Chain A
Amino acid sequence: MKRLLTFITVLAMTLAVSAQRELDEVVVRATRPLSEIGVHKTVFDSVALKQSVAQSMADVLSNNSALFVKNYGRATLSTVSFRGTSPSHTQVTWNGMKLTSPMLGMTDFSTIPSFFIDNASLLHGTSSVNETGGGLGGAVRLATATVPADGWQATYTQGIGSFSTFDEFAKVGYGDDRWGFSTRIAYASSPNDYKYVNHDKKENIYDDNHNIIDQYHPTERNRSGQYHDFNILQELRYSPNSRNNGSLAVWYTNSSRHLPLLTTDYTSSTPFLNRQHEQSLRAVVSWRIISGKFRTDLRAGYTHTAMAYDYQRDPGNGIMAVMTRSRSYVNSFYEQAELQYVLSSKWIFTAGLTAYEHLVASHDMQVNGVDGVPARVGYDKHRTDLSGALTLRWQPTDRLGLSAVVRQESYGEKIAPPIPAFFTDFIILRSINLVAKGSVSRNYHHPSLNDQYFMPGGNINLRSEKGVTYDLGTTFAISRSSRCAVEGGVTWFDSRITDWISWLPTTKGFFSPRNVGSVHAYGIESNLRIKLVPAKEWDASVSFNYSWTPSINKGPAMSEGDRSVGQQLPYIPRHSATANGSLSYRSWTLTYTWNYYSRRFTMTSNENTITGALPTYFMNNLILEKKITTRPLYLNLKLAVNNLFNEDYVSVLSRPMPGINYEFFITFTPRLKNK
């Protein structure tokens, strides 16, 4: 396979070398919104989002950014960390409403199909304060696009892949100047029973006297990995006039995922069930009014999530015995109002207020109560979270921009200290659009409801985690012609987080969260993107992202034997990088993605023991695409090759990952006649 890749790239090189031709006159026009003064933001283009229709947002982020995506397996929990912080320090919004679970305090990106996301961007560090509080690492902003006013649209994609994986995607929509609607459906299923060599186990061969006469690492299947994910998204748009615009987005998910066995699990013949079933409904209605110098955005939303976790085993009598039966229900109501006032071409004032009412009921197994009556272990609580922000943006000169945000939050009955943030940028050199940026903020991340109330172990006395962050960086953008564009940037960041919340075992035998110390996370984020048109009918693009993210435990030491102080946090790589290359010729497109994480320690003391670190991670994927135009429809054929070099690896200790695997997609897009 490597030889094939080499052949392809050498061929591409040959073509590139021959691409010497005259270039036409071009005009490059560009904009920079005043509303993004000093903001460090990464925007994913449609190419990144639609590289493969079946990919989740976890795949998009791992392939196109230098964020660390902790992936527990194929179609299994995937969390995202910015800048060496915890996944709980990544805030996630969808059409303005938080996706982050108020119960768990984090987001599983593997459950978000990229097919449902039209706009995605990252707000790094301090920049997340513009969107929401609590993003000590940053925020991921996801959204659906406004239904366009270009008549009827329809598309259908069928995917067939390794491990009997079937993916189906359909979209139908209509839009005119006043109304628009869009319906999207995604369904994915797979037994997900890929084979892997289990290096953590050995199979014994016994003689008749039960003496071991030989051992070998068995080739096993990923057991209990099957999944069925169904998603439907309904959107409506109503635009009565140019000053008013309303939209509604409703997203329903029904996901049944079995949790794979660890590589160290010796369950063999015993039937068992280890399944997580989630149903969620998310709805956001929004209305925008533009009136003179005022712009008003009103949003309301609702999230319902029902999660069920079941663990059952056959005790030997053929009847599955319930070991764990966990049920949790989250209902969240969301309201947001934001007013923007343009004082002049140099001043913008924004005020916003956001409210969430969370109702969470989470219960675990059933036990014999004090009076002999069966009782459940868990909690049933509600919490109101409020967040208000005032923002002033000022451009005193053409080159200089200044911005200040003050955010005030409360959760439950607790009022957090104010969150201030300051941003500035300065145009150093117009010819290459060289801009210097800087920002500083103090931010607070509040405990989740599980942190506060989980039974047993919840700690109502937890304090909010406090982060002080500053960023300094530059960006540039050069367009030499319509055939060559280069942009990039590098940012230095420095965060000091105190009152870091960790779940630690107690002497009672269960875990409990505590504010246990401080972390110094600092480093560099950088990116480079190049777009080329090397010859007629050719297109090429390449992007690189690299992050250096030391994230150091600053103590205090837990006891005299504690060797974790001064060490990198576990499961946070110091280095992460991605590279993407895409080459198109006429209707053919070849896309290559490469992802890298340096060694991740599994222990706080960073010991180089057998299980103390995971080796350097490299992942290579390839996608070949062909577009065919016929009279009635457009056809798109796509072959995705994942884990190109058939790596035998784990991303998280004891979680098996698949070797090389393939998926073929065919997309039908009717050529509809629209007026």
Chain B
Amino acid sequence: MFNRGITVCHIQSSQQVTIISRKMSTVCRDMRNICLIIISALLSIASYGCMSREDDEFVLPGGDFAVTSPHGLLIVNEGNFQYGNSSLSYYDPTDMKVTNELFQKVNGMRLGDVAQSMTVYDGTGWIVVNNSHVIFAVDIKTLREKGRITDLTSPRYIHFVNNRKAYVTQLWDNRIYIVDPATYSVTGTITVDGMQQQSGSTERMVQIGEYVYVTCWSYQRDLLKIDSSTDRITDRLDVGFQPGPLVKDFAGNLWTITDGGYSGSPAGSGIPALVCIDPESMTVIRRLEFKQGSSPRQLATDSSGHTLYFINQDLYEMDADDSSLPVKPLVSGDNRLFYALSVDPVNGDIYLSDAIDYTQQGVVYRFSPDGVQTDKFYAGVNPACFCWIP
């Protein structure tokens, strides 16, 4: 009752409508031909079906690359979490040319998963690759690998105290690692009391004299003061919920942005703020609050330390002496997702990256100090950190 009289392929002996009934008593030549066609097709497929790797096609002959400009910009592209597609770009501000994926092209291997930051110290660039649990040391002129520090929990930033000691901050850990750059080895840790391992987070570092100051970001509130001669935390200050970036101004004061977390977090949240701290007394000098729900991020100064720059959807600048937040942006966001920020220490040009949709090559915009766009180029996926070659 529910059937309609047309054929499906299988052959049945049911009591249903007969469609095709054909008597055949001839030699089945066509069947032989079909067999031949099928087997030929399978043969073709088998011989065709081999994969080839394409990575090596991109490696520079001899791995040669040379930074010729006396003053260049390296861009660490974070990539996507669990994709392993971090990369390193180089931009020459003089001839305004960019070269992408240099780490792999020079070294013939991937940079890793979620490259977070880069620090240049004594002719060596140190690239911190968060989810690969590694820090690569590269020659800053050739970008060729010199060595690596491995087995880190979830490294974020590296700060050099001297040529035999550096600090590495981490996520998901309540310890700051102490490493020896000369031997690429971990030599000790600084444990942050009162911080849980699984929600632990230490972030940006600035050194003033013997003391290294460290913000504690994810689910944290403190600014730490570490005596680098003893590797002990000597003081800490509650600066607000989730302080991230950290810079020093012309007067020797520290500035951070507390992003305030997100509403509904069981760990709490707060009003985002730009906070100025006296590092000597570990007290808050000024606290300039943003609107609730805003998302301030990134902080930079010009070479003199008189002017502060930060992102809050748009790019803003303010004098370090100002007692209120600026109202008018220097550069309007215009639907761009400003991701990273840096100021050229030589000429004061401003560099801003746009992560766009986070799954394509991000754009880097270059502006003059008065906010006029002078260049635009594509780097890697999620340009997250700018690092100037002195």
Interface residues in chain A, defined as those with a beta carbon under 8 Å from any beta carbon in chain B: 2, 5-6, 9, 12-13, 16-17, 19-35, 199-202, 204, 206, 210-212, 215, 217, 262-270, 313, 315-316, 321-325, 342, 345, 348, 365-370, 375-377, 395, 398, 401, 427, 430-431, 433, 435, 455-456, 477, 479-487, 502, 504-510, 516, 529-532, 534, 540, 542, 544, 558-564, 570, 579, 581, 592, 594, 596, 602-605, 607, 609-611, 613, 615-620, 645, 647-649, 653-654
Contact B1 A398 (CB under 8 A): no
B46→A345 contact, CB < 8 A: no
Known A204-B148, A603-B381: A654·B82 in contact at CB below 8 Å:
yes
**Is A605 a contact of B336 with CB atoms below 8 Å?**
no
Q: Contact check: which of A16, A456, A602 meets B35 at CB < 8 Å?
A: A16
Q: What is the interface of chain B, defined by CB distance below 8 A to chain A?
A: 1-14, 16-32, 34-36, 38-43, 45-56, 58, 79, 82-85, 87, 100-101, 104-105, 107-113, 129, 131-134, 145-148, 150-151, 153-154, 172-173, 175, 182-184, 189, 196-199, 218-219, 259, 261-262, 264-268, 295, 297, 313, 334-337, 354-363, 376, 378, 380-381
**A165–B199 alpha-carbon span in the complex (Å):** 37
Which single residue of chain B is at the shortest CB-CB distance from A365? B198
Q: List, in ascending order, chain B residues with CB within 8 A of A395's CB.
A: 4
Secondary structure call for the B interface? loop
Q: Check A483 against B28 for contact (C-beta < 8 Å).
A: yes
Roughly how many angstroms separate A430 CA and B131 CA in the complex, as a whole number?
62
Cβ–Cβ contact A315 & B175, under 8 A: yes
Q: Cβ of B104 and Cβ of A610 under 8 Å apart? A: yes
Contact, CB under 8 Å: A594 / B45: yes
Chain B residues closer than 8 Å to A369, beta-carbon distance? 266-268
B219 contacts which chain A residues (CB < 8 A)? 367-368
Contacts A16-B39, A20-B32; A603 near B259 (Cβ below 8 A)? no
Contacts of A487 in B (CB 8 A): 8-9
Which B residues lie within 8 Å of A316 (CB)?
Answer: 189
Taking the closest CB of chain B, its distance from the CB of A350, in whole angstroms, is 11
- Asked if residues A604 and B9 are in contact (CB atoms below 8 Å), the reply is no
- Known contacts A266-B112, A653-B83; decide if A433 and B25 are in contact (CB<8 Å): no
Q: In this complex, what residue of A is CB-closest to B47?
A: A2
Question: Are A540 and B267 within 8 A (Cβ)?
Answer: no
Q: Tell me the complex Cα distance, A472–B52, Å.
A: 36
Bound CA–CA A445/B40 (angstroms): 44
Which of these, A34, A202, A264, A479, contacts B9 with CB under 8 Å?
Answer: A479
Min distance, Cβ B209 to any Cβ of chain A, angstroms? 30
Q: Which chain B residue lies CB-closest to A18? A: B32
Whether B133 contacts A266 by the Cβ 8 Å rule is yes
Q: How far is the CB of A312 from chain B (nearest CB, A)?
A: 9
The CB with the most chain B CB atoms within 10 A, among A17, A30, A401, A516, is that of: A30
The answer to whether A611 and B83 have CB atoms under 8 Å apart is yes
Q: Which of B6, B83, B265, B363 contacts A30 (CB 8 A)?
A: B6
| Set of chain B residues within 8 Å of A325, measured between Cβ atoms | 198
Residue of A nearest to B150 (CB): A266
Most buried by B among A366, A508, A531, A616: A508
Residues in A neighbouring B39, C-beta threshold 8 A: 9, 12-13, 16, 581
Q: Please tell me if the beta carbons of A561 and B354 are within 8 angstroms of each other in the complex.
A: yes
| Given A266-B150, A365-B199, 8 extra CB contacts under 8 A | A30-B8, A200-B55, A268-B150, A369-B267, A477-B6, A558-B357, A562-B357, A654-B85
